[in-house]
Amino acid sequence: MARARDAISEELADWMLRQHVFFVASAPLSGQGHVNCSPKGLETFRVLGPRTVAYLDLTGSGIETVSHLRENGRIVLMFCAFDGPPKVVRLHGHATVLAPGEAAFNDLRSRFPDLPGIRSIIHINVTRISDSCGFGVPQFQFVGERDQLPKWCATKGEPQLADYRKKHNSSNVDGLPGI
């Protein structure tokens, strides 16, 4: 049975932080634009308060979430239990993209792991917290984090990553501005 919650309790925060993957969904205002859903991992999620969360945004092949957030701020994060009791949690909200060098980015940076390729921090004011049964979610065994993205970013180095972001992250698939 699905239920809404008033806040992220300590118990719920602990459960979310134990999940090895979460999903981020966003969409443009245009009905013609593409909805995006991205998996995230590498322990980049943090609970900042009862209705505030953030995650570390790393350099990637696209810039959909950042573009959508800069246009309209709408976001939902979804966590699924792939082991243990079944459970799905969704955090709906409005997000801000915090860029390196901004005071808010600098204030939060120490809360996250030191990973190469950091693009931004996504700061979310949560407007709706809900959980549901997750009975249809399969069970999986966690083997380990993939290290390809951190290795790729470390090999490139910051100057090459800046060039990569300029080439591949300046706009999204619908032409909305990125970074």
Q: What pLDDT is stored for residue 1 in this prediction? A: 61
2 pLDDT band, cuts 50/70/90, is confident
What amino acid is encoded at 153 in this protein? Answer: C
User: Has residue 175 been placed in a domain?
Assistant: no
What mean pLDDT is reported for the chain? 96
**Is there a contact between 46 and 55 (Cβ–Cβ < 8 Å)?**
yes
User: Has residue 39 been placed in a domain?
Assistant: yes
125 pLDDT band, cuts 50/70/90, is very high
User: Has residue 51 been placed in a domain?
Assistant: yes
Task: Please provide residue 172's backbone torsions phi and psi, each rounded to the nearest 5 degrees.
Answer: -95, -175
User: Has residue 147 been placed in a domain?
Assistant: yes
Q: What is the pLDDT of residues 40-66, one digit of tens each?
A: 999 999 999 999 999 999 999 999 999
Number of domains in the chain: 1
Q: What is the CATH number for 141?
A: 2.30.110.10
User: Has residue 177 been placed in a domain?
Assistant: no
**Contacts with 84 (C-beta within 8 Å, 6 or more apart), sequence order:** none
Rounded average pLDDT over 148-175: 95
CA 20 vs CA 3, 8, 46, 108: distances in Å = 23, 18, 13, 21
Torsion sign over Cα 93, 94, 97, 98: negative
User: Has residue 116 been placed in a domain?
Assistant: yes
User: Has residue 112 been placed in a domain?
Assistant: yes
Which domain range does residue 21 map to? 3-168
What does the alpha-carbon distance between residue 42 and residue 36 come to, in Å, rounded to a whole number? 20
Task: Please provide residue 60's backbone torsions phi and psi, each rounded to the nearest 5 degrees.
Answer: -145, 180
Question: What kind and span of H or E run contains 39?
Answer: strand 36-40
User: Has residue 60 been placed in a domain?
Assistant: yes
Rounded average pLDDT over 69-78: 98
